[in-house]
Amino acid sequence: MPKLIYFITHPNVKIDPAVPVPQWPLSERGRERMEQGLRQPWVPTLTAIYSSTEQKAIDGAELLANLLGLGFTQLEALGENDRSATGFLPPDEFEQVANVFFAHPEQSVRGWETARAAQNRIVSAVEALVAADPTDGPIAIVSHGAVGTLLYCHLTGEPISRRWDQPPNAGGNYFAFTLEPRTAHFHWKAIDDFEEHLAALHEQGRQCAERGGQFEENPFLREGQDWQLLAWNRGFKERSIPNPSCSECHGTGVIILRSPEDPSPYDGAQIQCLCNNPERP
């Protein structure tokens, strides 16, 4: 079954020009946004968490891990593109240099790691950690915007371009992907922006229940969103085999919920296909 991976960028950071950039922590606003993101309906399905060794990514991974009662693994290769040659740059200057970084991926701009080298590094790191991951469920990687964009370009077969960069909201975005098949399920979405999806997921959940799935109360949602579909046919995970000829799941055993209006997978929420149910009539 394809392993679903969520790539999450750290949200807002506490900027201090006197402190090396990799040591910047999340700001109060960043921690608040990350905590809001813990309400995403796919968060409780995570079985493993990875982060870069930069403090802001560690802070985000720690919040996620504490909620789920999991540990997390820090990997240096998941770090942001190496900008140590310049260190902190004022925002306007940083944006100008970043534009050149993406526009000329084979060239080092002011001593920065090249975009091509950073892409090769993040792709290799992700492939290695996914291959070594011992869990059988979705995993999360808490990392950074530039390398996340470079990974997205690799997954979609797009040339390196800042066109695919995360939105200008100070970070705190995510996308979901698989390596086999190699595909990104959607472009960046803000980690703390999901309420517009609840109504559609509610309806999809009702349809799932009619087909044999189950609703489940979700304690991670707060007042006003007091339930959500976590989404699988419980009790059949260990003793059933997907049907390789199934026209709905195509042999994966999992159906990714989709919005009625949007053909892309809907936030990665999943149900186990009925072909995976040995008691199906």
Q: Do 267 and 241 share a structural domain?
A: yes
- Is 259 a member of any domain? yes
* Sole residue written with tokens 């946004």: 33
For strand 5-9 and strand 48-51, is the pairing parallel, antiparallel, or unpaired?
unpaired
Residues 6+ apart with CB under 8 A from 120: none
Which residue from 151, 150, 123, 176 is spatially nearest to 4, judged by alpha carbons? Answer: 176
Q: Do 138 and 213 share a structural domain?
A: no
Q: What is the pLDDT of residues 141-172, one digit of tens each?
A: 999 999 999 999 999 999 999 999 999 999 99
Q: Do 110 and 69 share a structural domain?
A: yes
**255, 4 in Cβ contact below 8 A?**
no
- Is 281 a member of any domain? no
Expressed as residue numbers, the domain containing 87 is 5-190
Q: Do 142 and 221 share a structural domain?
A: no
Q: Do 148 and 27 share a structural domain?
A: yes
Q: Do 70 and 9 share a structural domain?
A: yes
The secondary element (H helix, E strand) that includes residue 144 is: none
Report the alpha-carbon distance of residue 190 to residue 57 in Å, rounded. 16
- For residue 138, give the CATH number of its domain: 3.40.50.1240
Q: How many domains does the chain have?
A: 2
pLDDT of residue 2: 83
- Is 65 a member of any domain? yes
Q: Do 228 and 171 share a structural domain?
A: no
Q: Do 147 and 42 share a structural domain?
A: yes
More confident residue, 100 or 2: 100
- The confidence band for 205, taking pLDDT boundaries of 50, 70 and 90, is low
203-238 CB burial, b ≥16 within 10 A, e <16: ebbeebeeebbeeeebeebeeeeeebbbbbbeebee
Q: Do 126 and 45 share a structural domain?
A: yes
pLDDT of residue 209: 52
